[in-house]
Structure 1
Amino acid sequence: MPRFFVPRVELGENFLVLTGENAAHARVLRLKNGDAVTVCDGEGEEWHCVVSDVAPGQVSLVVQEHTAAKSEAAVFCSVYMAFAKADKFEHVIQKATELGAAELVAFPSARCVSRPDERSLAKKLERWQKIAASAAEQSGRGRIPQVLALPSYEAALQRAAQAELAVCFYENEEQRTFRAAIESAPFRTAALLTGPEGGLERSEVEQAQRVGLQICTLGSRILRCETAPLCALSALMYAAGEF
C-alpha cells in the first residue's frame, strides 16, 4: 500500500490532502479514486485513507481509520556513531532506519578523520534527514528517525547515558558481552554508541564508563565502523522480539 509522510499540523481527522512532492509521487503511482493509501505523521501514528479525488497538484483523501503505527519497535533505540569518512554514516542511517532505530546521532571523537565544519555539517544534516525519511517510507515505518549531530564526545555521552540501557562498544573489551547487558534489566529506551574508523581511545572508554555506560564487546572479530552499529541494533531488536 502506498505510504506518504505528512507533518502532523497538516493532518485532519476526516479528510486529508496530499500536495507538493507527495502529490507528485501519487501521480507517478497513478493513484485513482478508491485506491487505499496510508498517511503517516512521522511520529508513530498513521491514517488509513481512500483516494476521493485526483486533481492537478493535489490528491484528496477520506480517512477510514486513525491508529498507532504497528511497524514501530517497542524499544526506543538511539544509535550513536562517531563521525566517519565518506558516506559511511549515510549507509548506517538508511539501514538503521530499516531495522527500527528511533534516532541517529553523530558526534566527534579523538580518532575521527572526518570533522565537518558548521557550514558543511548543516548541509549534511539536511541530506541525512532526507535519507532517513526515504528509508522510513520504503520500509513501512510510522516514524521518521531524527538525525542529530552533537558538538562533542562529552555531549554524546551525557545524552546517551539517559537511556535505560546505555552501551559503549569497545573492541578490546573481553568480558562483558552485549547479551549480558541486554539481559541485566528490563528497558524501554536504549543507546548504542560506537567509535570511528580507528576506534575509541582507552581514555574515552573509561570516560563513558564513568558517566554510566556499560562497556561491551561485539565478539572476537573487529568490525568496521559502519558494521558495528548495525550489528548491535540487529541484536537488540532480536532480543526485544522484533524479529
Structure 2
Amino acid sequence: MDDATTIPNTRRFFVDPAWLRSDQIEIDDPALVHQWGRVLRLSAGDRVVLLDGHGLAAVVEIAAIDRKRAHGHVIARCQAGGEPAVAFDLYLALIRPERFEWALQKAVELGARRIVPVAFARSLPSDRADERRLARWQRIATEAAEQSGRGRIPAVAVPQPFAAALAASVTADLAILLDEQASRHLREVVSTHATARQIAIFSGPEGGIDPAEREMALGHGLQAVSLGPRILRAETAPLAALAMLQYALHS
C-alpha cells in the first residue's frame, strides 16, 4: 500500500487540521479542488497526502471529485517527517522583493523553521512589506514546504526592526551574524556548538551591516562568522549558511 513516502511531492497538500479529524474527508476549497481535478487530473482511486502543518500526515484515497468538491477517505495516518533535527530561525534582511522571495523559498527547502524579515539600517525604503506582501510570503513558504516534502509549515513572521529581532533571538542555543569582516569561519564556531538544537541566523542586506548594528549584535551575544573568502549576495549568504550548518550538524 502507498504511504506518505511513496506518493509524489506534487500530491502533498497542507490543509486545515480540522479536515483531518474524521476518516471521511470532504474538500470544498475551490483552489484545491481545481488543482486536483484540472491541473493534476486526479480521479477516483488516486491518493494524496494531506498534512496538518504540525507534523502529522494522512494518506487519503479520492472517492469522487467534481468541479466543486472532492470526497475521500483516510487509509493511513503517520508522522509527516521531512524536518531537520535542529530548529533554524532565519532573520533575513528585507531586500529587493524578488530576491527576498527567492531566498525565502530556498530557505524553506533547506529546512528553516521560521523566517523573520528584518529591517536593517541599510535596507531600502522600497524593501518594506505590507499585509498583502506578508500573505504572499507565507503562501510561498507553504508551497515550498509541500514541494520539498516537509511536514510543518515554516512561519513567516511580521517584519521587525533590527533591535527587536536581536531581542527575539536570545532563546537560541547559538546566534550568528553572517559578516564578511568576521575573523572566524562558520565551521570553527559550529564545531564548538555541536549539541545546539536551536540556531538563529542573521543575514544582512545588499549594502552590508552597519557598524552600529554589528556592535549591537555582538553586545547581544551573537557571534560574527565568515562563510569564506568570497563576498556572497544578500540572498545567497543565508542559503550557504543553512547548507553548511545542516551538513556540520548532520541535521
**TM-score with structure 1 length normalisation?**
0.92
Asked if 2 retains the 8 angstrom alpha-carbon contact of 1:16 and 1:63, the reply is: yes
CA distance in structure 2 between the aligned counterparts of 1:192 and 1:95, rounded to whole angstroms: 15
* Match in the other structure for 1:178: 186
Q: Can you list the C-alpha shifts for 1:28-63, whole angstroms capped at 9, x where unaligned?
A: 222222212100112222111211222331212211
CA distance in structure 2 between the aligned counterparts of 1:61 and 1:240, rounded to whole angstroms: 40
Q: Can you list the C-alpha shifts for 1:159-192, whole angstroms capped at 9, x where unaligned?
A: 1222112111111012x22112222121111111
The residue type paired with residue 42 of structure 2 is L
Equivalent residue in structure 1 for 2:176, among 161, 167, 173: 167
C-alpha displacement of 1:114: 3.7
CA distance in structure 2 between the aligned counterparts of 1:116 and 1:82, rounded to whole angstroms: 9
The residue type paired with residue 228 of structure 1 is A
* Match in the other structure for 2:104: 93
Asked if 2 retains the 8 angstrom alpha-carbon contact of 1:108 and 1:115, the reply is: no
* Match in the other structure for 2:69: 58
CA distance in structure 1 between the aligned counterparts of 2:125 and 2:238, rounded to whole angstroms: 18
C-alpha displacement of 1:240: 2.8
Pairing 1:188-199 to 2, within 5 Å after superposition: 188-199=197-208
* Match in the other structure for 1:236: 245
C-alpha displacement of 1:204: 1.0
CA distance in structure 1 between the aligned counterparts of 2:160 and 2:83, rounded to whole angstroms: 29
Asked if 1 retains the 8 angstrom alpha-carbon contact of 2:64 and 2:71, the reply is: yes
Aligned positions, number: 239
Equivalent residue in structure 2 for 1:15, among 6, 10, 24: 24
CA distance in structure 2 between the aligned counterparts of 1:182 and 1:66, rounded to whole angstroms: 37
Question: What is the root-mean-square deviation of aligned Cα atoms in Å?
Answer: 1.7
Asked if 2 retains the 8 angstrom alpha-carbon contact of 1:83 and 1:114, the reply is: no
Give percent identity, aligned residues only: 37
Structure 1 SS opposite 2:130: helix
C-alpha displacement of 1:86: 3.7
Change in 2 beyond 3 A, CA 1:50/1:179: same
* Match in the other structure for 2:4: none
Pairing 1:1-243 to 2, within 5 Å after superposition: 1=7, 2-20=11-29, 21-28=31-38, 29-114=40-125, 120-174=129-183, 176-185=184-193, 186-242=195-251
CA distance in structure 2 between the aligned counterparts of 1:43 and 1:24, rounded to whole angstroms: 25
**TM-score with structure 2 length normalisation?**
0.89
Structure 1 SS opposite 2:35: helix
Asked if 2 retains the 8 angstrom alpha-carbon contact of 1:171 and 1:222, the reply is: yes
**Structure 1 unaligned residues grouped into runs of 5+:** none
**Structure 2 unaligned residues grouped into runs of 5+:** 1-6
CA distance in structure 2 between the aligned counterparts of 1:177 and 1:17, rounded to whole angstroms: 52
The residue type paired with residue 122 of structure 2 is R
The residue type paired with residue 147 of structure 1 is V
Asked if 2 retains the 8 angstrom alpha-carbon contact of 1:75 and 1:190, the reply is: yes
CA distance in structure 1 between the aligned counterparts of 2:109 and 2:83, rounded to whole angstroms: 11
Structure 2 SS opposite 1:149: coil
Off by >3 Å, runs of 4+ in structure 1: 114-117
Asked if 2 retains the 8 angstrom alpha-carbon contact of 1:38 and 1:47, the reply is: yes
Asked if 1 retains the 8 angstrom alpha-carbon contact of 2:122 and 2:205, the reply is: yes
The residue type paired with residue 151 of structure 1 is Q
C-alpha displacement of 1:115: 5.0
